[in-house]
Structure 1
C-alpha cells in the first residue's frame, strides 16, 4: 500500500514494490529505484542507490510520524502520511485537512450517517458525515460556510482511504 511522504513542501507517493532483506525496489511517484537500505544506529540510515551512497539521520519531531532529516549538506522536515496519520490528523478537530471544499475518508471505513444533501447550505464546523473505522465513529465537518455541491456516499457504503465523500462550494 502506498504512503505519502511530505518532504518540506513536496508530497511524494512511496510504495515498496519488492524487498529481500535490506535490498528494496521502491517506487517514488512514478519512478522505480533499487536501493540497499541499512539501519545503522538509532535514527541513522545508509542508502546505496545507483552506486551512490547517501547517509541520513532522522530525528523525531513532537508530532507523530514527523521527523527532521539531516543529510551531509541539507536539512529537511519529513512527515509520513499513511492511513493512520491521516486519521489522527483529521480526527484532531473533525475538520477537513486535504481540501476545504472536499471531505475525504482518512482511511477505509463504513459510512454510518450522511447528515447533508446536495443543495443544502452548511456552516463551518457543521457535521456532514459520520464514518466508522477502527471500531470508532468519527464526525467529519465542513471547513467553511458553503453549499453542498455533491454527496458521493450514503449510509452503509464502504469507503477507501482518500475517497471524496462530500464536495462543498
Structure 2
C-alpha cells in the first residue's frame, strides 16, 4: 500500500504480524517493530531498542489520520490496493500519466494495443485479472503507445509499469 505523509509517498508492505510483533517493509527496507495500541488512539512503538509514542487521530473516511509524535503533527493518507484500484478505474477525472501502472498484483489477460498505436480518451489498453476479477485499463486522453513492457500471460506486481505513453499536450 502507499502511505502519503505530506508530500512524501512511502510504499509499505506488511510482511507478518504475530501479536504485537510486526514485520514490514518501507520502500523495500525491512523493519521489525513491537506496536501496542491503546483504545484512545495512542500507540507505543519499540524499534531497535528505542521507544516511540504517537497519537493517531482518524479523519472522516477512515483512511486518513493526523499523527502527533515528537511535538510535530503529520497528515497521513493510506492508499491501499482497493483505493488505488478504484482511483485507476475512475481515470478520466485525473490527468493522464505517461505510463500505465498496475495498482495491484495480477495477471495480464489481454494487451489490446501495439507500440506506435495512436489512442483516444477511453481506449482500453490492457486487461488484468486480480482477485478473480478482470479489469480494463483505459487512457483518458489522446496519446501514443511508446513501449509495452508486458505480454499476455505475464504476472505483474503492485506498482509495476505495464506500458509507457507519449501523452499529447493540451494546454487549454
The TM tier, using the shorter chain, reads: 0.7 to 0.9
Distance 1:150 1:30, change over 3 A: closer
Match of residue 66 from structure 1: 64
Partner residue of 1:142?
A: 139
- Cα shift at 1:107: 1.2
Equivalent residue for 2:117, pick from 99, 117, 120 = 120
**How many Å apart are 1:5 and its aligned residue?**
1.9
* 1:100 is the counterpart of 2:132: no
Deviations for 1:120-154, whole angstroms, at most 9, x for unmatched residues? 11123322112222222222111432211012223
Q: Deviations over 1:8-33 (max 9, x none)?
A: 11112334566553244554336555
Contact 2:110 2:126 in 1 (8 A): yes
In structure 1, the partner of 2:54 is 55
Q: Could you tell me how far apart the structure 2 residues matched to 1:112 and 1:33 are?
A: 35
Mean CA deviation greater in 20-29 or 156-165: 20-29
Root-mean-square deviation (CA, aligned residues, Å) is 3.0
Which sections of structure 1, spanning at least 5 residues, go unmatched?
Answer: none
> In 2, are the aligned partners of 1:117 and 1:151 still within 8 Å (CA)?
yes
TM-score (norm 2): 0.75
Contact 1:96 1:141 in 2 (8 A): no
Greater mean deviation of Cα atoms: 4-13 or 34-43:
34-43
Contact 1:102–1:165 at 8 Å: present in 2 too? Answer: yes
Closer/same/farther in 2, CA of residues 109 and 35 from structure 1, 3 Å limit: closer
C-alpha contact (below 8 Å) 1:95/1:140 kept by paired residues: no
Matched residue of 1:124: which SS? Answer: coil
| Residues 53 and 156 of structure 1, relative CA distance in 2, 3 Å threshold | closer
- Seen in structure 2, the aligned counterparts of structure 1 residues 112 and 23 have a Cα distance that, compared at 3 Å, is closer
- Per mean C-alpha deviation after superposition, the further-off stretch among 79-88 and 132-141 is 79-88
Distance in 1 (CA, whole Å) between partners of 2:30 and 2:107 is 34
